[in-house]
Amino acid sequence: MSIHWIASYPKSGSTWVRFFLYAYSQGPITSSLAVNDSIPDLHRNPNLNLPRPLLIKTHFALSPSHPLIDQTDRAIYVVRNPRDILYSAYRFLRLTNDQVDQLTYAKAFINFRGDPAWKHMGFGSWHEHTNSWLDQKRFKVHLVQYEDLHSTPEKTFSDILRFLDIKIDPDKLKNAIHHASFDSMKQLETREKSSDKPSLFRGSQQQLNQGIRFVNSGLTGQSLNTITPGLEQSFKDAFSNALTRFNY
Its pTM stands at 0.93
The HSE-up count of residue 21 (CA atoms within 13 Å, CB side) is 28
Lowest-pLDDT choice from 20-34, 88-102, 145-159: 88-102
> Which tens digits make up the pLDDT trace of 180-239?
998 898 888 888 888 877 887 777 777 766 666 777 777 788 999 999 999 999 999 999
| Count of residues making up the chain | 248
Cα 166 to Cα 181: distance, rounded to the nearest angstrom: 20
Nearest to 9 by CA among 74, 84, 95, 108: 84
Structural domain range at position 124: 3-244
Percent of the chain's residues with pLDDT above 70: 97
Cα 70 to Cα 2: distance, rounded to the nearest angstrom: 9
Domain with residue 87: its CATH number is: 3.40.50.300
Tally of structural domains, the chain = 1
Cα 192 to Cα 213: distance, rounded to the nearest angstrom: 12
> Which tens digits make up the pLDDT trace of 108-156?
999 999 999 998 899 999 999 999 999 999 999 999 999 999 999 999 9
Query: Amino acid letter at 51?
Result: P
Residues 6+ apart with CB under 8 A from 150: 218, 220
Res 154: pLDDT:
97
Pairing between strand 140-145 and 72-79? parallel
